[in-house]
């Protein structure tokens, strides 16, 4: 069977051109295929097949505006606005002062950190992981990449619950797998049902990936919903599930269930997690996977060739986070809960915007399709990408187009920002959106 790359070469075009014909992806992103081509500057088909991360691209645009002195409120990045708790920083400083952590750490991470992660899963998530099942990486993003590269053969299908976190799609394609998007609907809190999943599975399906709490929708699968998904998975020998639990602490339901805890699911589950969100440690770059040993060993092999271990100092900080005082995390989550209430109330007050009530993470993912085709008299909004750019230019609020997450009708709004900024951002959004009218009602400037 031909790989994606061979097929693309045969047809003489790159994936990006093919995808550009589809309306879903962001036109804000650079099209590498547009560069004049000769042998020297030709990037690989692998790289041309993926786009720059839309969240990072929007954040860069917002920074550009800020550099020009424009007062942009950035609600585009998925990043806690809190500082890393002091006891975690202290552990990192101490590790430097001790001078013991200068050498390459073991590829899978320090044994004490792997043991602490396993212990947390035994105690809090009811999953009997041991240190040998844990692989610490340079962020959860690398854990996901490790597992995809360790498991996927060319042409294998990976079912992605959509809306989905931006990088799943690109990482699967880089691993030469085929992402198969299964769409959750806003009226079901964007959650894919077990019945939908059952219909999407084919003999080529190797794995399923989702996040719960979900980035970008904030939805959280209940125990019963996860059990129904597990039941479907167990009907298919060899089918694996990649459960991304990186937002597990920022869950307002009080029910954080790990699908690996269900009978028969330990052997089929790769759990992804990390320190970025719950401990406000995005820049420290520590994530991990927990999986049956044969998969963990595959991930270690992959990581050993690409990056080696995660930074020794960041790992000492991560140990302090996971084995230490959880009170700072609880305080941050209380703050997120308050902000969710605030934004929910303010969003309900914006005519034309339809939003779900997120139960976790720190995002809203409102449907803004009402504004497509509307105009302010001089400019007509075509789609979500267009609206996002319009809101940045007119309201000076930076959001991310939903197409990057699989739903072009929506925009992602991060409420990991101060109350003051959130109130002002919502005021600007309401005012700017109110200026968009049906073409025949618009006052032509
Ligand atoms: C659902 C989800 N998974 C994984 C990641 C990657 O996390 P990390 O920063 O640890 O690489 C993110 C980051 O935004 C995320 O939202």
Cα–Cα dist 344/278, whole Å: 22
Write phi, then psi, for 38 (nearest 5 degrees). Answer: -145, 180
DSSP, collapsed to helix, strand or coil, labels residue 45 as helix
**At CA 205, angle to CA 200 and CA 209, rounded to 5?**
80
What is the 140 CA–ligand 1 centroid distance (Å)?
5
pLDDT at 49: 84
Residue 225 CA from chain centroid, whole number: 21
Instruction: Round to whole Å and give the CA distance between 415 and 432.
Output: 19
Ligand 1 pocket residue status of 216, Cβ below 6 Å: no
Task: Determine the distance separating the centroid of ligand 1 and the alpha carbon of 397, expressed in angstroms.
Answer: 23
DSSP 8-state secondary structure symbol assigned to residue 273: E
Ligand 1 atom nearest residue 214's Cα: 1
CB 105 within 8 A of CB 312: yes
User: Long-range contacts for 231-236 (Cβ within 8 Å, ≥24 apart)?
Assistant: 231/194, 232/194, 232/197, 232/198, 232/201, 233/197, 233/208, 233/265, 233/268, 234/264, 234/265, 234/268, 235/198, 236/201, 236/205
Cβ contact 241:289 at 8 Å: no
Top mutation candidate among 143, 212, 215 for ligand 1, by most atoms within 8 Å of CB = 215
Residue 246 Cβ inside 6 Å of ligand 1? The answer reads yes
The pLDDT score that the predictor gives to residue 242 is 98
CB of 287 within 6 A of ligand 1: the answer is yes
Total Cβ atoms within 10 A of residue 410: 28
For ligand 1, pick from 109, 117, 140 the residue to mutate: most ligand atoms within 8 Å of CB.
140
Please state whether the predicted TM-score (pTM) of the whole model is above 0.75.
Answer: yes
Task: For ligand 1, say whether the CB of 244 is within 6 Å of any of its atoms.
Answer: yes
Measured CA to CA, the distance from residue 159 to residue 172 in angstroms comes to 10
Centre of ligand 1 to C-alpha 247, Å, is 9
Is the distance from CB of 55 to CB of 404 less than 8 angstroms? Answer: yes
Q: Whose CA is nearest to atom 16 of ligand 1?
A: 215
With H, G, I as helix, E, B as strand and everything else as coil, classify residue 353. coil
Contacts of 58 (CB under 8 A, 6+ apart): 28, 76, 388, 392, 398, 399, 400, 401
- How far is ligand 1, taken at its centre, from the CA of residue 98, in Å? 31
CA 130, CA 321: separation in Å to the nearest integer? 19
DSSP 246: T
What percentage of the chain reaches a pLDDT higher than 70?
A: 89
CB of 141 sitting under 6 A from ligand 1: yes
Question: 433 near 352, Cβ under 8 Å?
Answer: yes
Contacts of 210 (CB under 8 A, 6+ apart): 160, 161, 164, 192, 221, 242, 243, 244
3-class secondary-structure state, position 392 = helix
pLDDT, one tens digit per residue, over 18-38 is 333 333 343 333 444 455 556
- Determine the pLDDT at residue 441: 58
Per-residue confidence (pLDDT) for residue 30, from 0 to 100: 40
Q: Which phi and psi (to 5°) does residue 332 adopt?
A: -65, -40
> How far from 98 is each of 31, 278, 313, 316, 322, CA to CA, in Å?
48, 27, 11, 12, 21
Alpha-carbon span 300 to 78, nearest angstrom: 27
How many angstroms separate the alpha carbon of residue 165 from the centre of ligand 1? 8
Q: Are 399 and 216 in contact (CB under 8 A)?
A: no
Mean pLDDT estimate for the chain: 90
Question: Ligand 1 within 6 A of 278 CB?
Answer: no
* Distance (Å, whole) CA 166 – CA 76: 13
Phi, psi angle pair for 399, to nearest 5°: -125, 180
Measured CA to CA, the distance from residue 433 to residue 356 in angstroms comes to 19
Q: What is the mean pLDDT of each run of 10 residues along the chain (445 residues)?
A: 46 36 38 55 86 74 87 90 96 96 96 98 97 98 98 97 96 96 96 98 98 98 98 97 98 95 98 98 98 98 97 98 96 97 97 96 98 96 93 94 95 96 98 91 49
Q: From start to end of 394-435, where are the E strands? A: 397-398, 400-401, 411-414
Ligand 1 atom closest to 55 (CA): 14
The verdict on the CB of residue 54 being under 6 Å from ligand 1 is no
- Residue 38: the pLDDT is 64
Q: Which tens digit of pLDDT belongs to each residue from 179-212?
A: 999 999 999 999 999 999 999 999 999 999 999 9
215 lines ligand 1 (CB under 6 A): yes
Cα 349 to ligand 1 centroid, rounded to whole Å: 31
């Amino acid at each position: 069977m031909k790989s994606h790359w061979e097929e693309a070469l045969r047809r003489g075009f790159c994936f990006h051109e093919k995808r550009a014909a589809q309306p879903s992806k962001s036109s804000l992103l650079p099209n590498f295929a547009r560069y004049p081509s000769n042998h020297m500057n030709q990037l690989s088909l692998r790289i041309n097949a993926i786009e720059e991360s839309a969240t990072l691209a929007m954040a860069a645009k917002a920074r550009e505006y800020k550099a020009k002195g424009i007062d942009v409120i950035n609600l585009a990045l998925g990043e806690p606005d809190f500082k890393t708790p002091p006891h975690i920083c202290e552990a990192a400083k101490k590790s430097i002062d001790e001078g013991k952590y200068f050498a390459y750490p073991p590829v899978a991470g320090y044994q004490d950190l792997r043991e602490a992660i396993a212990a947390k899963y035994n105690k809090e998530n009811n999953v009997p992981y041991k240190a040998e099942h844990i692989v610490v990486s340079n962020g959860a993003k690398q854990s996901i990449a490790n597992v995809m590269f360790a498991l996927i053969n060319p042409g294998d299908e990976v079912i992605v619950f959509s809306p989905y976190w931006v990088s799943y799609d690109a990482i699967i394609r880089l691993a030469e797998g085929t992402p198969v998007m299964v769409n959750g609907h806003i009226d079901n809190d964007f959650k894919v049902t077990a019945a939908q999943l059952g219909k999407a599975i084919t003999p080529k399906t190797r794995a399923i990936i989702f996040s719960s709490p979900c980035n970008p929708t904030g939805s959280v699968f209940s125990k019963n919903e996860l059990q129904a998904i597990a039941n479907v998975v167990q009907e298919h020998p060899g089918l694996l599930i990649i459960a991304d639990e990186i937002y597990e602490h920022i869950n307002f339901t009080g029910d954080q269930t790990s699908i690996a805890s269900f009978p028969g699911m330990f052997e089929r589950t790769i759990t992804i997690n990390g320190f970025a969100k719950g401990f406000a440690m995005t820049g420290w770059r520590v994530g991990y996977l927990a999986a049956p040993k044969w998969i963990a060993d595959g991930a270690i092999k992959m990581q050993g060739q690409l990056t080696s271990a995660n930074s020794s100092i960041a790992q000492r900080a991560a140990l302090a986070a996971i084995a230490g005082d959880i009170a700072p995390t609880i305080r941050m989550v209380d703050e997120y809960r308050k902000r969710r209430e605030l934004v929910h109330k303010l969003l309900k007050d914006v005519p034309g915007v339809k939003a779900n009530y997120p139960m976790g993470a720190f995002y809203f993912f409102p449907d803004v399709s009402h504004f497509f085709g509307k105009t302010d008299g001089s400019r007509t909004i075509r789609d979500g990408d267009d609206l996002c750019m319009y809101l940045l230019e007119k309201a000076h609020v930076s959001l991310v187009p939903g197409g990057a997450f699989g739903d072009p009708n929506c925009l992602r709004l991060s409420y990991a920002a101060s109350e003051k900024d959130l109130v002002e951002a919502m005021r600007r959004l309401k005012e700017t959106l109110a200026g968009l009218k049906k073409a025949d009602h618009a006052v032509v400037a």
